[in-house]
């Protein structure tokens, strides 16, 4: 009786091992499937000077600041037109108070984009 049980147990273990092997053979190719990405080639001539940065901030009450100087919207629009004509264009870093109204932020973004500035980004995203 004991040899029969040992043979039966050995058969079950062997069956489980073979089943596991088949499962791994089927699933490993799926797990190693690679996604091909066409990255741009590295730039052999990186820019030698850092870009000019303009800091635009919008306070909680809607106050606009151009490089830490309070300005009204018309004055800021004039600055934007001046800066958009430069080559290379400066980067615009926008800092927004978390209590500022979305309308003011959207209006400022629209002013920056519609007057020709291309390099625009938010710098205090960790607050949100």
Tens digits of pLDDT across the chain (128 residues): 556 666 777 778 888 888 988 887 877 766 666 678 888 888 888 777 888 999 999 999 999 999 999 999 999 999 999 999 998 899 999 999 989 999 999 999 999 999 999 999 999 877 65
Domain boundaries in the chain? Answer: 1-31, 53-127
Q: State the pLDDT at residue 6.
A: 62
CA distances from 31 to 9, 26, 27 (A): 32, 10, 6
Q: State the pLDDT at residue 40.
A: 85
| Whole-structure pTM value | 0.62
Beta bridge pairs of residue 66? 56, 69
CATH architecture of the region 53-127: 2-Layer Sandwich (3.30)
Give the three-class secondary structure for 123: coil
Q: Residue 7 corresponds to which tokens in the numbers above?
A: 């043979």
Helix H or strand E encompassing 94: strand 91-96
């Amino acid at each position: 009786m004991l040899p029969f049980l040992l043979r039966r147990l050995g058969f079950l273990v062997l069956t489980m091992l073979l089943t596991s092997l088949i499962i791994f053979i089927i699933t490993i190719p799926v797990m190693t499937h690679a996604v091909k990405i066409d990255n741009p080639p590295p730039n052999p001539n990186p820019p030698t000077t850092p870009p000019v940065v303009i800091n635009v901030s919008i306070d909680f009450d809607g106050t606009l600041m151009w490089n830490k100087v309070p300005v009204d919207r018309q004055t800021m629009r004039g600055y934007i037109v001046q800066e958009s004509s430069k080559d290379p264009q400066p980067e615009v870093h926008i800092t927004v108070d978390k209590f500022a109204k979305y309308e003011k932020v959207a209006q400022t973004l629209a002013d920056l984009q519609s007057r020709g500035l291309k390099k625009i980004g938010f710098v205090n995203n960790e607050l949100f």
